Amino acid sequence: MRPIIFSLLVILLYSCQNNAQNGEGSVSIKELTSVSYDQIPRSLKFKGDFSSAWRWSDQNGENILVLSTESRYGGYDESQFLYGIHFAKQGGGYETIWKMIDHEKDCYFDLTCRFFPGATTITDLDGDGFAEIKLQYETACRSDVSGATMKLLMYENGKKRALRGTRWLNPYGKGGKSFPYGIDEMCKDRFRARDYNGGQYESDNDFADAPPSFLDHAKQEWRKYVVE
C-alpha cells in the first residue's frame, strides 16, 4: 500500500508544479467593477476633474485606477490635460504603482484631447496574476482636415508599452471611399503599411518582449477606434 500512496503523491506534486509553471494556478483578476467618485477613498489624491475609475483585486491586492482631465484657458488659447493613476493597497494604505500625463497645449484652433469612452480594459492575458491596464485616447489642435494623434498605453505592474500613431479621417465624406487597402493593412506599423494616409501606428517595438497576446489585444483595440 505504501508504494502506491508514494506514487500518487509524486504524481500530484508533479501536476501542481506543471500548473504553476503554466500560470494555471495564478491569481486572476477578481471583483472588477467601475466605481464612482464618491466610492474612491478620500486619502487617494489625483489631479484634475474626475472622469472614471475602476477597482479590482490581483496579486498586488486591491487596486484602484482613476482617470481625470483638466482644462486651462489663456487669453485666446486652451490647453487640455489627461491624467491616469494606479493605486494598490499595501498594508494599511495605498501606494502609487504608476501615473501618466499627456496634453494638448496652447491651442488657438479646434482642440481635441480626450480618453475614448469605454476604451479602458483591465485584463490578465498572460495569467500571471497581475492585471494589464489599457488606456486609449486622442489629441489634436487642428485648423484643417487631418487625423488626430491616437495613443494606446498598456501597463502591467508598472511597466508601460505603447502604440502611437494617427486616426484615419475619411477625406471623401460620409458614404464615400473607405480604407483603400482594408483596415488591417492601414493599421500596421507605418514602416510596413502601404502609405501614410493615417491609421498606422509608428512601431510595435514596445511589445517585443511581451507575450504575443499583449500585442494581439493592442492591435484589436487600435482597430476599434482608428476611424475618426
Mean pLDDT of the chain: 84
For the stretch 154-211, pLDDT in tens is: 999 999 999 999 998 766 555 545 565 566 766 776 666 555 567 888 889 999 999 9
Cα separations in angstroms, 41 against 58, 66, 94, 149, 214: 19, 11, 10, 34, 31
Encode pLDDT of 105-122 as tens digits: 999 999 999 999 999 999
Which pLDDT value is given to residue 168? 85
Distance CA 133, CA 119 (A): 11
What pLDDT band is residue 24 in, cutting at 50, 70 and 90? Answer: very low
Task: Please write the tens of the pLDDT for every residue from 60-106.
Answer: 999 999 999 999 999 899 999 999 999 999 888 999 999 999 999 99
pLDDT over 70 at 8, yes or no: no
Cα distance from N-terminal residue to C-terminal residue, the chain: 71
Does 103 fall in a domain? Answer: yes
Q: What pLDDT score was predicted for residue 5? A: 39
- Position 9 scores a pLDDT of 39
Tell me if 50 is assigned to some domain: yes
In a domain, 9, yes or no: no
Q: What is the model's pLDDT at position 179?
A: 60
In this structure, is residue 12 part of a structural domain? no
Position 219 confidence tier, pLDDT thresholds 50, 70, 90: very high
Query: Which amino acid appears at position 30 of this protein?
Result: K
Question: How many domains is the chain partitioned into structurally?
Answer: 1
Cα–Cα dist 83/150, whole Å: 15
Half-sphere exposure of 159 (CA within 13 A, CB side): 10
* pLDDT for the residue numbered 196: 59
Q: Is residue 119 domain-resident? A: yes
Query: What distance in Å separates the CA atoms of residue 99 and residue 141, rounded to the nearest whole number?
Result: 24
Higher per-residue confidence, 144 vs 189: 144
Query: Which structural domain range is residue 129 located in?
Result: 29-225
Domain membership of residue 1 (yes or no) is: no
Residue 2 falls within a domain, yes or no? no
Residue with cell 508533479: 14
85 belongs to a structural domain: yes
pLDDT of residue 20: 28
Q: Over pLDDT 90: what percentage of the chain?
A: 65
pLDDT of residue 127 exceeding 80: yes
Specify the pLDDT at position 221: 96
